[in-house]
Chain A
Amino acid sequence: MTAPDTTGGKTPAPSRTGSGERSQEGGETEGGQKTTPLLEVHRRLGATLTSFAGWLMPLRYASETDEHNAVRRAAGLFDLSHMGEISVTGPAAGAALDYALTGHLSTVEPGRARYTMICAADGGVLDDLVAYRLADDEYFVVANAANAGLVYQELTKRAAGHDVAVRDVSLDYALIAIQGPNAAAILSRRTGFPSSASLAELKYYASLRAVIGGTPVLLARTGYTGEDGFELFCPPDHAVSVWNALAEAGAGDGLIPAGLCARDTLRLEAGMPLYGNELSRDITPFEAGLGRVVKFDKPGDFVGREALAARALAGPGSRLIGLIGRSRRIPRHGHRVLLDGQVIGTVTSGAPSPTLGRPIAMAYVRPDAVDAAAAAGTPRAVGAAASARTAAQTAAGAGRLAIDVRGQAEPADYVQLPFYRRAK
Chain B
Amino acid sequence: MTVPDGLRYTPEHEWVAIDGAIATIGITAYATEALGDIVYVSPPAPGTQVTASEPCGEVESVKSVSEIYSPVDGEVIQVNDGIEDDPAVVNADPYGEGWLFRVRLAADDEAEPSGLLSPDEYAALTQETD
Contacts and interface: CB of A to CB of B under 8 A. Distances in A.
Interface of A: 1-11, 14, 48, 59-60, 63-65, 261, 265, 328-330, 332, 351-352, 406
A32 B75 CA distance: 48
B57 to A, nearest CB: 10
B46 interface: no
A396 B55 CA distance: 36
A323 to B, nearest CB: 17
B39 interface: yes
State the 6 A-B residue pairs at the shortest beta-carbon distance, nearest first.
A6-B64, A4-B64, A9-B34, A352-B39, A328-B40, A6-B63
Interface stretch (B65-73, B102-110, B113-121): B65-73
A7 B61 CA distance: 12
Contacts, number: 77
B27 A1 contact: yes
Contact of A3 (B61, B63, B66, B130): B66
Given A1-B68, A328-B40, A352-B39, A64 B14 contact: no
B36 A1 contact: no
Interface of B: 12-14, 27, 31, 33-37, 39-40, 42, 59-69, 88, 91, 129-130
Contact of A330 (B31, B33, B36, B39): B39
Contacts of A6: 63-64
B63 A261 contact: yes
B63 to A, nearest CB: 4
A9 B37 contact: no
A4 B39 contact: no
Nearest to B39: A352
Contact of A351 (B13, B42, B62, B68): B62
B60 A1 contact: no
A330 B13 CA distance: 22
- Chain A: interface secondary structure? loop
Nearest to B37: A65
Nearest to A357: B39
Contacts of B62: 64-65, 261, 265, 351-352
Nearest to B130: A11
B40 A48 contact: no
Contacts of A328: 39-40, 60
Contacts of A60: 36
Residue among A9, A64, A332, A406 having the largest count of chain B Cβ atoms under 10 Å: A9
Contacts of A330: 39-40, 60, 65
Given A63-B37, A63-B91, A328-B39, A9 B64 contact: yes
Contacts of B35: 4, 9
Contact of A48 (B27, B36, B67, B91): B36
A186 to B, nearest CB: 25
29 contacts: A1-B12, A1-B13, A1-B14, A1-B27, A1-B59, A1-B66, A1-B69, A2-B67, A4-B35, A4-B66, A5-B65, A8-B63, A9-B63, A11-B130, A48-B33, A59-B63, A60-B36, A63-B36, A63-B91, A64-B36, A64-B63, A65-B88, A261-B36, A265-B62, A330-B60, A330-B65, A332-B65, A351-B62, A352-B40
A352 B64 CA distance: 11
B54 to A, nearest CB: 12
Contacts of B14: 1
Nearest to B12: A1
Contacts of A9: 34-36, 63-64
Residue among A1, A14, A65, A332 having the largest count of chain B Cβ atoms under 10 Å: A1
Given A1-B68, A10-B34, A261-B63, 5 more contacts: A1-B31, A7-B63, A9-B63, A60-B36, A330-B40
A329 B41 CA distance: 9
Given A64-B36, A65-B37, A5 B129 contact: no
A412 B106 CA distance: 40
Nearest to A405: B65
A11 B130 CA distance: 6
Contacts of A4: 34-35, 61, 63-64, 66
A340 B59 CA distance: 28
Contacts of B91: 63
Contacts of A261: 36, 62-63
